[in-house]
């Protein structure tokens, strides 16, 4: 079964109301490797309930629509999906406990051509359930590797999102190295993403990988961790947006190096798997607040 463009563009997602507490925020921070040094007082602010600081990318894990693409009516071969890009804009501080309302819609279905796959873009708005205040806008780009070639003259598909910028050719202005545990994916999946390619060797092989890979959103969250620590002086509220492309898989146990360049009020960045010298997160850009 192939992608049916009209069906996908009109796909209905149920509105979700999700509650979370300090334990959820702390578990998320731990899954990013924060406080791997338990004597690091800057990190402890993200894992102790007294005046808890929340990594804003935590909202990527709250109220997400789940494995909706596994529904056969989508026509998507869901075991062949990769996370292509992720873009988040933060509109306000993220409290340590709360209830949020998530509304998701499909905004683009892009045909890259036969044998080249398709891109499906969902947009999710996250608001505070009590006040209605907008907390975050999230764009999730799924690369459906097995689903290119669906376009017709009647339904040619949508244009892709504007391209993300490349990093400068110069040496980075800032850098931070972060080791990952061999069990990092087993821990990160407790945030809600139970895709078996991250934990079961057989499922990973079926998807074309030698062994389970780390969740892309874990790498993305680790980029946020580095930006907050190095570019935002430990203040998560200074991170206004974060966008990046997932360019290669990360294998749990590798060391990730965040390389950052200051460009005006933005920071451009990439994440490199140090042992392989492989760029695993590219075209990274973050807006900073003063």
Instruction: List, in sequence order, every residue forming a beta bridge with 255; answer none if it has no partner.
Output: 179
CA atoms 100, 163, 3, 115: torsion sign: negative
Active site (annotated) includes residue 193: yes
CA distance 179 to 50: 26
CA distance 244 to 286: 9
CA distance 18 to 133: 15
Active site (annotated) includes residue 198: yes
How many other C-beta atoms can be found within 10 angstroms of the C-beta atom of residue 272?
21
Q: Pick the catalytic residue from 198, 210, 215, 283.
A: 198
Q: Pick the catalytic residue from 24, 193, 215, 283.
A: 193
Residue 46's SS3 state is: coil
Instruction: List, in sequence order, every residue forming a beta bridge with 263; answer none if it has no partner.
Output: 266
Say if strands 134-144 and 118-128 run parallel, antiparallel, or are unpaired.
antiparallel
CA distance 143 to 110: 10
Instruction: List, in sequence order, every residue forming a beta bridge with 271; answer none if it has no partner.
Output: 258, 281
Measured in degrees and rounded to the nearest 5, phi and psi for residue 77 equal -80, 95
In eight-state DSSP terms, residue 165 is: P
* The two structure tokens encoding residue 174: 């800032």
Q: Tally the C-alpha atoms within 13 A of residue 118's C-alpha that lie toward its C-beta.
A: 27
* The two structure tokens encoding residue 150: 């669906």
Give the end-to-end CA distance of the chain in Å, rounded to a whole number: 50
Which residues are part of the catalytic machinery?
A: 193, 198
């Amino acid at each position: 079964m192939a992608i049916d463009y009209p069906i996908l563009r009109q796909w209905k997602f149920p509105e979700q109301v999700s509650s979370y507490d300090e334990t959820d925020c702390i578990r998320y921070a731990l899954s990013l490797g924060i406080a791997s040094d338990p004597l690091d007082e800057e990190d402890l602010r993200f894992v102790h309930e007294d005046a808890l600081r929340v990594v804003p990318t935590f909202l990527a894990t709250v109220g997400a629509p789940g494995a909706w693409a596994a529904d056969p009516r989508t026509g998507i071969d869901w075991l062949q999906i990769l996370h292509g890009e992720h873009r988040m804009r933060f509109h306000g501080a993220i409290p340590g406990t709360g209830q949020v309302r998530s509304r998701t819609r499909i905004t683009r279905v892009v045909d890259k051509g036969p044998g080249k796959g398709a891109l499906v873009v969902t947009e999710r708005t996250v608001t505070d359930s009590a006040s209605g205040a907008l907390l975050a806008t999230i764009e999730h780009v799924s690369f459906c590797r097995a689903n290119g070639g669906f376009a017709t003259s009647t339904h040619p598909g949508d244009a892709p999102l504007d391209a993300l910028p490349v990093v400068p050719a110069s040496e980075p202005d800032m850098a931070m190295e972060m080791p990952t545990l061999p069990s990092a994916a087993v821990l990160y999946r407790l945030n809600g993403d139970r895709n078996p390619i991250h934990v079961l060797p057989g499922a990973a092989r079926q998807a074309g990988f030698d062994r389970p890979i780390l969740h892309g959103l874990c790498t993305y969250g680790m980029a946020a961790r580095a930006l907050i620590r190095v570019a935002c002086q430990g203040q998560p509220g200074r991170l206004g947006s974060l966008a990046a492309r997932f360019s290669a898989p990360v294998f749990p146990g590798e060391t990730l190096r965040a390389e950052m360049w200051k460009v005006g009020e933005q920071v451009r960045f990439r994440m490199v798997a140090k042992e392989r010298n492989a760029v695993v997160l590219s075209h990274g850009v973050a807006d900073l607040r003063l």
